[in-house]
């Protein structure tokens, strides 16, 4: 494992320990996959070494000062090399996160020390038959009765179900429209596996995750006492949204082990497979694939550990985690495919682990949170982060060259309104100028306001008047909210003579112009 310079000495020592552990457990882990046996022994040993306490403070039996969020990603990277027990690690750590950040002192004292040592394993129980990424739409209910809550519903695609001791379940506790609108209708409950009415309905056979349980759960009149509520009633959405960023971070890290192993096996095979009188590594096409594998692997590690570092600084790096999850999942699939291609037919046999990385990788692309969801998140959060880079360019025609040039950036608010009365002709002329510098683009109302120093009501009045005359075309969000404007053909002709729109490069022969 390549060490990053910002890792602490304790984390670098942890890297050595983890790498040695993974090397020693490789054979055992592969045997468990072939036998389709759940990797209890491996997760138990991880617990005994304190690795499940990575983000848990020492006061609750954890190893926060030594490991932190970076340390939990290091565990994921090394364990995911050899075993799908990393998926049990993810869900247990995410449950520990929710209890740590939002649970009562009593819940922390009861569960965190045992979770840190692997004595209690946990499953995250959100997804349902009719609610996946739309977590706010779950149908599992929790009704209040005799000082407790009664849960009814079904959950599916629950990783580590059956092997886990506790299940953190998201349920509806309100049908009030106002509460639903504010996402205050959900609550997190801790349910233990032997609770009456709580059963496994089905174990899924997935395309990957060969020896990792994944199940449907049924809750029928499951009684949960109020001391098993994480946070307050109605806090479920807030808790979930906080936790999913850590879940996505760990999922990002779970791709690193398979990426590194794919590089290992591709290189191993290429150096030893001889075709056309030379090792297949010497073929340029294979070297290109190895180069792409290295690029993707190294970039994935940088993205993941940078996001983990921000977590350790106390930040909630939503954008960075979303980028890492999306990149690692999508580029991981390309990486595994390239590695298999380097290995030829051997790459698709189960005698080498790379084909399983491809199958498992497709699942990671879907959960937790699909790559499509990450791409929906990024424009919103990117706009908050890249405020300077996203300032709209202010473009004008160069007086001598008569070509568009950038003269500054929009976004500066005028100190006061101009004393000059803005007319329809002024506005139409500005839109005509916009046609010259940004042909094909509407002009944003905020840019118009900055150019003309005009108040909203007056601008709306002028735009609507020009629209009624057929001189401008408007884009609205809703019925009245004018956002964009452009001149129509009649508007362009009214604003300026055709000659002012014309421009030809100097090399064009004028006799060819009509």
Name the H helices within 165-283: 177-181, 236-254, 256-272
Confidence of residue 324 (pLDDT cuts 50, 70, 90): very high
Determine the distance from the C-alpha atom of residue 500 to the mean position of all C-alpha atoms in its chain, rounded to a whole number.
Answer: 49
| Burial class of residue 320, CB neighbours in 10 A (0-12, 13-18, 19+) | buried
d(CA 338, CA 206): 23
The answer, yes or no, to whether residue 233 has pLDDT greater than 90, is yes
Q: Examine residue 368 and say whether the peptide bond preceding it is cis (omega within 30 degrees of 0).
A: yes
Q: Among 72-81, 83-92, 101-110, 148-157, which is the least confidently predicted range? A: 83-92
Neighbours of 455 (CB within 10 A): 12
- Number of helices followed by number of strands (H, E) in the chain: 16, 15
**What is the per-residue burial (b if ≥16 Cβ within 10 Å, else e) of 5-36?**
eebeeebeebbeebeebbeebeeebeebbeee
pLDDT (0 to 100) of residue 414 = 59
Residue predicted with more confidence, 412 or 321: 321
Q: With beta carbons less than 8 A apart as the criterion, state whether 75 and 82 touch.
A: no
Determine the distance from the C-alpha atom of residue 354 to the mean position of all C-alpha atoms in its chain, rounded to a whole number.
Answer: 25
d(CA 317, CA 174): 30
Secondary structure of the chain: what % helix, strand, coil (to 5)? 55, 15, 30
d(CA 64, CA 479): 53
**Average pLDDT of span 339-344:** 98
**Average pLDDT of span 286-311:** 98
- What does DSSP say about strands 393-397 and 404-409: parallel, antiparallel, or unpaired? antiparallel
| Burial class of residue 136, CB neighbours in 10 A (0-12, 13-18, 19+) | middle
The answer, yes or no, to whether residue 251 has pLDDT greater than 60, is yes
The answer, yes or no, to whether residue 297 has pLDDT greater than 70, is yes
pLDDT (0 to 100) of residue 412 = 75
The answer, yes or no, to whether residue 415 has pLDDT greater than 60, is no
- Could you tell me the CA-to-CA distances from 456 to 119, 285, 401, 409, 453 in Å, in that order? 63, 60, 34, 20, 10
**Average pLDDT of span 161-185:** 97
Tell me the average pLDDT of the chain. Answer: 95
- What φ, ψ does residue 190 adopt, rounded to 5°? -95, 125
> Which residues are CB-neighbours of 94 under 8 A, at least 6 positions away?
122, 124, 243, 246, 247, 250
Q: With beta carbons less than 8 A apart as the criterion, state whether 337 and 365 touch.
A: no
d(CA 508, CA 504): 7
pTM: 0.89
Domains of the chain with CATH codes = 122-239 (2.40.110.10), 255-389 (1.20.140.10), 393-503 (1.10.10.10)
The answer, yes or no, to whether residue 157 has pLDDT greater than 80, is yes
The answer, yes or no, to whether residue 507 has pLDDT greater than 80, is yes
pLDDT (0 to 100) of residue 420 = 81
The answer, yes or no, to whether residue 52 has pLDDT greater than 90, is yes
The answer, yes or no, to whether residue 123 has pLDDT greater than 60, is yes
pLDDT (0 to 100) of residue 398 = 95
pLDDT (0 to 100) of residue 109 = 98
Confidence of residue 417 (pLDDT cuts 50, 70, 90): low
pLDDT (0 to 100) of residue 67 = 98
Q: With beta carbons less than 8 A apart as the criterion, state whether 122 and 96 touch.
A: yes
Contacts of 45-49 with C-beta under 8 Å, sequence gap 24+, read 45/21, 46/75, 46/79, 46/85, 46/89, 46/118, 47/116, 47/117, 47/118, 47/119, 48/117, 48/118, 49/17, 49/21
- DSSP-derived letter for residue 275 is E
pLDDT (0 to 100) of residue 133 = 87
Q: Among 2-6, 21-25, 360-364, 476-480, which is the least confidently predicted range? A: 476-480
> Which residues are CB-neighbours of 358 under 8 A, at least 6 positions away?
333, 336, 337, 340
**Average pLDDT of span 468-483:** 95
């Amino acid at each position: 494992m390549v060490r990053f310079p910002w890792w602490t000495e304790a984390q670098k020592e942890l890297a050595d320990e983890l790498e040695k552990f993974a090397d020693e457990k490789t054979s055992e882990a592969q045997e468990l996959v072939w036998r389709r046996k759940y990797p209890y022994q491996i997760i138990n040993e991880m617990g005994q070494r304190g690795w499940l306490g990575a983000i848990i403070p020492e006061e609750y039996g954890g190893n926060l000062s030594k490991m932190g969020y970076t340390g939990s990603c290091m565990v994921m990277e090394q364990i995911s090399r050899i075993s799908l027990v990393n998926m049990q690690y993810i869900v247990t750590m995410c449950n520990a996160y929710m209890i740590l950040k939002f649970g009562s002192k009593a819940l922390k004292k009861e569960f965190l020390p045992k979770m840190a040592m692997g004595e209690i394993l946990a499953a995250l129980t959100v997804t349902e038959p009719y609610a996946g990424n739309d977590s706010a739409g779950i149908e599992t209910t929790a009704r209040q009765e005799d000082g407790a809550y009664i849960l009814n519903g079904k959950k599916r695609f629950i990783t580590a179900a059956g092997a886990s001791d506790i299940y953190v379940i998201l349920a509806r506790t309100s049908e009030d429209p106002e509460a639903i609108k504010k996402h205050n209708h959900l609550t997190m409950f801790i349910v233990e596996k032997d609770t009456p009415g709580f059963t496994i309905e089905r174990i899924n056979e997935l395309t990957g995750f060969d020896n990792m349980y994944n199940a449907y759960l049924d809750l029928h009149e499951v009684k949960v006492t109020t001391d098993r509520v994480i946070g307050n009633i109605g806090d479920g959405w807030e808790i979930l949204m906080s936790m999913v960023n850590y879940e996505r971070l760990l999922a990002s890290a779970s791709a690193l082990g398979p990426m590194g192993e794919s590089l290992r096996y591709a290189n191993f095979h290429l150096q030893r497979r001889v075709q056309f009188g030379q090792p297949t590594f010497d073929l340029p096409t294979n070297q290109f694939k190895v180069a792409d594998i290295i690029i993707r692997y190294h970039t994935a590690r940088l993205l993941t550990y940078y996001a983990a570092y921000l977590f350790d600084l106390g930040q909630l790096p939503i954008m960075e985690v979303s980028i890492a999850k999306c990149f690692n999942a999508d580029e991981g699939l390309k990486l595994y495919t390239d590695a298999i291609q380097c290995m030829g037919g051997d790459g698709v046999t189960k005698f080498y682990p790379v084909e399983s990385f491809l199958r498992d990788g497709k699942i990671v692309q879907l959960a937790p949170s699909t790559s499509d969801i990450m791409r929906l998140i990024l424009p919103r959060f990117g706009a908050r982060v890249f405020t300077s880079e996203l300032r709209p360019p202010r473009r004008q025609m160069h007086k001598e060259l008569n070509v568009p040039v950038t003269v500054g950036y929009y976004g500066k608010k005028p100190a006061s309104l101009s004393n000059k009365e803005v007319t329809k002709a002024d506005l139409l002329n500005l839109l005509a100028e916009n046609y010259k510098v940004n042909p094909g683009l509407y002009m944003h109302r905020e840019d118009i306001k900055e150019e003309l120093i005009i108040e909203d009501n007056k601008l709306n009045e002028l735009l609507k008047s020009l629209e009624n005359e057929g001189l401008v075309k408007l884009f609205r969000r809703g019925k009245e909210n004018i956002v964009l404007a452009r001149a129509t053909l009649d508007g362009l002709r009214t604003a300026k003579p055709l000659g002012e729109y014309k421009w030809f490069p100097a090399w064009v022969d004028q006799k060819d112009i009509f």
